[in-house]
Each structure stands twice: as C-alpha cells, then as structure tokens.
Structure 1
Amino acid sequence: MDFPDDLTTGQRIRLLRESRGMSREMLAAMCGRGPDWLKKIESGERPLRSNALILRLAGALQLSDASVITGAASVAQPVQQGRLHHPGMPAIWDAVMNRRLSITPPATPVDVAGLQGRIDQTWTLWHSSGQNRTEVLRLLPALIRDAEAAARTLDGQQRRAALVAVSDVYRLTGQATAYIAPGELAWVVADRALTAAQDADQPAAIAAAAWNMGNILRETSYPEEALRVVTEAADLIRPHLDEAPDDWRGIYGALQLHAAVTAARDGRSGDAWRYWGAGDQVAKSLPASYVHPSTVFGRANVDFHEVSVAVDLRTSGRALSIADDLDPDAMPSVERRARLWVEVARGHLQRGDHTAALHVMQMAHDIGAETVQFTPSALTAVTDLWQGAPRALRPQAARLAEKVGLREVG
C-alpha cells in the first residue's frame, strides 16, 4: 500500500489490518497481546517502541519489510517469515508424516518396558542438556517408529502400555519441536499423543497429553481453547488423586500451572493467581523432593511459575522480588533454569533496566543455549536488548544476538 508520509505508525497498522480483513482481536492475539493494547497503538495513545513487537506485527500482517509500518524515513528492516529452523526437523517430519500403514511384526517380542525406559531417558536428556533440541531430535525418529510398531503388533495390557509409550513419545516430540515444527506437524503430534492416551484409557496419560495439547493451543493464539482442554483434563483426573501415585498428582499440578500462565497471558490476573495457588497446594501435598519426570512439576517449578505469571501480568516488581528469593539450582531441569532467567530478563526489560536484562540473558544462554535460541520470548528479549541497550553495552548485546542467530557475524 502507498501511504501518505504524514501517517502515524498506528494509522499505518490500522489501514494494513483493515486491508487484510483482520479484526483487532485477531491481530493482537497473533502478537501475544490484547485488543485494548492494539487499540491504543492504533489511536496513538500508546507509543510502539519495541522493535520485537514491530517485527511481530509486520510478520502477522505478512509484510517483508517492517519499515512499511514505521514509515518511509525508517531504515529497511527485513521480516523473518515462517518458523525457526533446525536441521533435525526433516528426520522428524519423515517419522511423523510418512508413518507406515503396515508394519511387519518384529522377529522377537517387543519389550514395552524397555521402550518406555528409553523414552523416559530421553525425557531426562531433554531436561538435562544445554543442547537439548539437537540431542533429543536425533533420538526421536527411532523412538517414534518403535513405539508405533509396538502399539500395532501387541494386544491386551501390553498394547495399552505401548499406547502410553506412543503418547509419551509424541508429547516429547511436541516439546522438542516447539517453535520449529511446521504448524501441520505440531497439530498432528499433539493429536496423536492425546488419541493414543485415550485409546490406552489411562487418566494420567490423557492428562499429560492434554497438557501438551494446551501448549499448542496457547502458542497458536487459542487461549480459551487451551484453558478448556487443561481444565477438562484436571476434572478427569481429580477423582483419582486420593489413591493415585504421586505422578498423577504431579500432572494435575502441572495442569494448574499451565492454566495460570494461559490466564496471565490473557491479562486475567485473578484467574491466573487462583490457578497458580491450586498448583501450589498440590506441590505442598507432595514430598519436598518430588519432581514429575516430564513436566518437572514440583516445588521449584511452582516457584518458577510464580515469576512467569507475574511477568506475563506485567507486574515486574513482584516478579523480580520473587526471583530474588529463588535458588535456581533447586530446579533439576536445565531448560527450566534457563527459562527462569529469560523471565527475569523480561521483568528487567519491563522496568527499562537493559543492563540487568543483558546480564541475566547471558546467564540464560550459558545455561541453556538452545532454550534461548529456539524460544520466541527469549529471542524477543535479545532483540530488544540488541536494539535498545546503552551504547557501552551494545557490543555485548550484539554478540549475544550473533550467538542466537539474530545477527550475522561480520
């Protein structure tokens, strides 16, 4: 579109949105914000200073150059199209999307317990490695095919156990390919995890698969649907909790934390803290050292989520105060420790403290390089630092941007 030179950024955004037939709610959701935020941007009541949000708006409006939003006097700024790239994705695509319709029974009986053990070990690797995506993606194709073969060639209780393994491996695939998988693969993986768990008729597996489905729904801007899925799963498993193993209570608690973050990102403070409080109560009912094997729900994860909820509600003072009292080493997951520092950096950025934000983002990268490289909120923070750091810190911010692939070396 050709705009008059005197149009403001907000006026340009409104005209672009309307020309594409997009509602304000739709565009705001694609940027992880609410419609009131976008209304204020379009009216000029609120300035748009975040380069990351400008790029996000440009991507949602299908622009190749963000300067179309900011004005003709701005320097051309290419907009990255599509999802983040990882070289391990082609093999995952082949294992998931080219699933064989017939499987020759193996020469020896499938050891379902051994298969589940391999999957559990890979979950441990996901939470313990700083290069977790690369290492886990390397193992997943074989695990997917072996789990599928077991479910198709066994019967009775062995088949039910194999179906739980199928659900677990697809949940892990969903975690490892988040933000790098094409949309159609992400939905297939989430649906297969939930379908296999339902076929196994195992409430804890269904609840865990619903937790995974909720992640997909939330990250694709369907917060109401995400909340419905996880609350229905919580309702399903709740009647079993009194006599259930600790891991059933663990996944129930993880569902509460999921709902807390979903509500917080939607700006629903009361609901967010109510769900967080429910998760906190579950953690108090479990042994102090308890950690759920895949979601890492436990005391430390509840405390970490308190920071996330506060940041998502833009109460950065509360978030940073909570973080001051946390012991990061209490969390056994490298990935979650890195994500904690990302949340702390976001809190500092909300307060305009680029120096502190850069320091903790460097810590996050040192702990879990691929967590920062392949998590949009982390990349947004790095972009904000690269664009807005004080002059003395710009070389450090630029080096961090290079490490995560936002800026070419040289």
Structure 2
Amino acid sequence: MDIPTDLSMGDRIRLLRESRGMSREVLAGMCGRGPDWLKKIESGERPLRANALILRLAAALQLTDASVITGTCGVEQPVHLGRLRHEGMPAIWDAVMSRRLAPLAPATPPSPVALQARVDQTWRLWHTSAHNRTEVLALLPDLIRDSETAARALSGEDRRAALVAASDVYRLTGQATAYIAPAELAWVVADRALATAQDADQPAAIAAAAWNMGNILRETSYADDALRVVTEAADLIRPHLDTGPDDWRGIYGALQLHAAVTSARGGREGDAWRYWKAGDQVAKSLPAAYVHPSTVFGRANVDFHAISVATDLKKSGTALSLADDIDPDAMPSTERRARLWVEIARGHLQRGDTTAALHVMQKAQSIGTETVQFTPAALTAVTDLWRTAPRALRPEAAQLAEKIGLREVG
C-alpha cells in the first residue's frame, strides 16, 4: 500500500495494522508486548528505537522491508519472515529447544576442566574473528549438549564446575545469537545461563549470567529491569571482591559499565557517569593489562564505554573528544573494536558530519564484518548515512549498505 511520506513511525504502524484488520492486542501479542505498549508507540508517546522490536513488528505485519515502518528511504532493510535468520541457527535451535528430558549416561562423562577450556577457547574466537557469529555458531551445538551432559552426569565439585561451564556456554550462545534469534530462544538461553549459575552457587558465574540477562532486558526495552538485575548482581558479588580472583572484580566492573550505558540510554546523565566512574575505579584496581575473558572488561573497555555513554546522552562533542585520546588497538577484542567505531560514527552523525561517519563505518565494517552486519546501531547508522550522504558519497554509502545486507532501492 502507498503510505504518505510525512507519516510518523507510530502512524505508519497504526495504518498498517488497521489495513490488515489486526487489533492492538493481536499485534502487540505477536511481539511479546501488551496493547498499552503498542498504543503508546502508535500515538508517539513512546519512541521505538530497538531495531529488534522494529523487525519483530515488521515480521508480524508480514512486511519484507522494515523501512516501510521506519519511513527511511533509499535503503531496504530485509525482514526475515522465517524464525531463524542465520544458517547456523537451526542447529542452535535444536540443541537448545530439543533438550532431552531423560538424563544421558555416557560411558565417560565429559571432563569439566576440558569442557571449560573449550568454552574459553570459543569465547576467544568470538572476540577475535571478523566472522565471529558464523564461526562460533558452528561450535555451540556440541558445546551446549556436552555441557548439559556433564552437568547431569557428574556430582559434587565436578558437577559445580560443569554447571559453571554450562552457564558460560549459554552466555556465549546469547551473545552469538543476539539480534538473529527468535525472542523465545533469547529468553530461554538467558534464563538457563542464570539458572545453571545459581545451581552452581558461584557468585562470579551468577554475576556474569546477570550481566547477560541485563543485555536481553535492555535490548527488549525493559531498561528498568535490566538496571535492577545488574545492580543486584553487583551487590551479590561485592562482598567477595577482596578475596576473589581478578576475574571476579572484572565481572563486577562489567556490571557497572552495563548500568552506565543503560542509564545513559534512559537520559539519566548523573547516574550514567556515576556508574561509569565506579567501573573506572575497578579498572584502576586491576593490573594495567587485565582483560576479562568474556566481557573484555579492562582499562580499554572502560575508556570505550565512556564514548558509548556520551553518545547515548547525545553529547557528541564529548564522545568525539574522548575518542581522540583512545588507542583502539589497546582492545584485544576485534568485536569490541568494531563496535567502538560504530559509536564514533554515531557521534559524527549526531553532529551532521556524514563524510567522517561514512569513513568510520567503513573502518568498522572492515574490522568486524558480522559485528556491523548484525548490530542494530550499525544498521541504523548506515541507513542514516544513505539518507544524508552528499551525492558524491552516495555510491560509497550504498556499497557499504550492500555489504551488511541492506539493499539500495529507488
């Protein structure tokens, strides 16, 4: 149907919904939300920024292009109407959702030490590969099944170690399937990561799983719940920091940075910088070269998060000034470096400098192809670039869009 170009996003959603004869209750329910949420979206009372929710609405409305909802022109954002967006997802779905109810009895239960070593190695792959989703997704089904088997077959301290490894596996599954998994899978994975950590009764594992749960909550617009989960986890692990290993302080610092970004996205500037400073103090208490193995918390990540906080607070001048003083190569995670350049591009876009933003987004894409391809902030930045790029740069913007799965139209 032809939709007037001057309609807001909320008006577009309402028009599309009504044209299909759908009630608010039905459409909202298909997105895992209530009718009051959708009513506020349609009226403009509540902004819709989460790309995952935009894609979910588009799929529920049977649209093949999410730009019909957003009103962006020039770049088509395909909507995958099927449940599994990546070729590696069917095997993940089977491993997670086809969980055996009867416990397995292998001749030799998997060693929790060897299992944890495999998990740690896969985390390293996640942080170092430009095609991290594809490569990690290929390894996860066996890791999921082996960790479940070990947790059921072992007992005592071996079982506790296997449960910690299983929690790590589910956290990694949540990271690798973010923005490409159906909502039900994302929630199951996050809940299992937390449940297995609690079963192990290991504070650092619980805190790490809470950090993961906070990511899911924040990205699905439950910011208050995300903040509650990570602050409760910080309270849980805080009494153990003086006697625990460095990684316990590392996850505590990661929780502070999570709270900082969550607060910044909600416009709570004072809280955002208060949490960031708490993370900064943790980094100062750790060895200069310290990096947490899964969250990559450390000196460089604290500095990177300062840029994210400033960008989310719409303080582009501050964000870009901070970026001038950062050495991106100090971060050992390729995935995190790519996301840093996305944040810098967002800062340039806030200032209207599309030339700089395009250059930076091209750099982000060259560093971490799949990080840019599957990150909503990157997709939004590229879409904005296509809409605002000078005519001379439009071919480059279109080429970048094609590389991350957006198609030039019109």
Same fold (TM over 0.5): yes
Q: Which moved more, 1:395-404 or 1:84-93?
A: 84-93
Q: Output aligned runs, 1:19-168, within 5 Å.
A: 20=24, 26=37, 35=45, 59=58, 62=61, 64=63, 80=79, 85-168=85-168
Q: Is the 8 A contact 1:84 1:374 kept in 2?
A: no
Separation (CA, whole Å) in 2 of partners of 1:302 and 1:290: 12
- Is the 2:126–2:133 Cα contact (8 Å) retained in structure 1? yes
Paired residues of 2:128 and 2:335 also in contact (CA < 8 A): yes
1:177-208: CA deviation from partner (whole Å, max 9, x where unpaired): 00001000000000000000000000000000
**8 Å contact kept, 2:55–2:79:** no
Q: Determine the C-alpha separation between the residues in 2 that align with 1:97 and 1:20.
A: 29
Task: Verify the 8 A CA contact 2:358 2:397 in the aligned structure 1.
Answer: yes
Rounded Cα–Cα distance in structure 1 between residues aligned with 2:77 and 2:370: 24
Note the C-alpha offset of 1:384.
1.1
1:319–1:15 distance in 2 versus 1, CA, 3 Å: same
Measured in 1, the distance between the counterparts of 2:92 and 2:56 equals 30
User: Aligned equivalents of 2:306 and 2:171: distance in 1?
Assistant: 24
Alpha-carbon contact 1:84-1:179 (below 8 Å) kept: no
The answer on whether the counterparts of 1:103 and 1:149 sit within 8 Å (CA) in structure 2 is yes
- Cα 1:28–1:336 shift into 2, 3 Å: farther
**Which aligned pairs between 1:230-309 and structure 2 lie closer than 5 A?**
230-309=230-309
Distance 2:160 2:166 in 1: 10
Q: Quick check: 2:74–2:409 contact (8 Å CA) kept in 1?
A: no
Distance 2:233 2:75 in 1: 47
Contact 1:59–1:79 (CA under 8 A) maintained in structure 2? no
- For 2:168, what is the secondary structure of its paired residue? helix
1:140–1:169 Cα contact (<8 Å) kept = yes
- Structure with the larger RCO, 1 or 2 (CA within 8 Å, 6+ apart): 2
Q: CA shift at 1:85, angstroms?
A: 2.0
SS at match of 2:407: coil
Corresponding letter in the other structure for 1:26 = W
* 1:392/1:198 CA distance change after superposition, 3 Å: same
Residues 56-85 of structure 1 show CA distances to partners (whole Å, capped at 9, x for unaligned) of: 7974994837568869xx999787366882
Name stretches of at least 5 consecutive residues in structure 2 with no aligned partner.
29-33
1:330-350: CA deviation from partner (whole Å, max 9, x where unpaired): 000000000000000011111
Cα distance per residue 1:325-384 (max 9 Å; x no partner): 100000000000000000000111111111000000000000000000010110111111
Whether the 8 Å CA contact 1:67–1:76 is kept in 2: the answer is no
After TM superposition, list the pairs within 5 Å mapping 1:165-180 onto structure 2: 165-180=165-180
- The aligned amino acid for 2:157 is Q
**Contact 1:130 1:369 (C-alpha < 8 Å) held by counterparts:** yes
Instruction: Give the Cα–Cα distance (whole angstroms) in 2 for the partners of residues 103 and 80 of structure 1.
Output: 39
Contact 1:385 1:397 in 2 (8 A): yes
Deviation at 1:8, TM superposition (A): 5.5
Equivalent-residue separation in structure 2 for 1:355 and 1:196 (angstroms): 47
SS at match of 2:289: coil
Equivalent-residue separation in structure 2 for 1:67 and 1:222 (angstroms): 25
Task: Describe the shift of the 1:67–1:214 C-alpha distance in structure 2 as closer, same or farther (beyond 3 A).
Answer: closer
In structure 1, the residue matched to 2:338 is 338
Distance 1:11 1:167 in 2: 39
CA RMSD of aligned residues (A): 3.3
The alpha-carbon deviation at position 105 of structure 1 amounts to: 2.0
Hey, what does 2:323 align to over in structure 1? 323
Query: Aligned partners of 1:299 and 1:326: how far apart in 2?
Result: 11
- Structure 2 distance, partners of 1:117, 1:106, is 20
Consecutive unaligned residues of structure 1, counting only runs of 5 or more, are 39-49
SS in 2 for 1:281: helix
Q: Which moved more, 1:95-104 or 1:155-164?
A: 95-104
1:29–1:221 Cα contact (<8 Å) kept: no
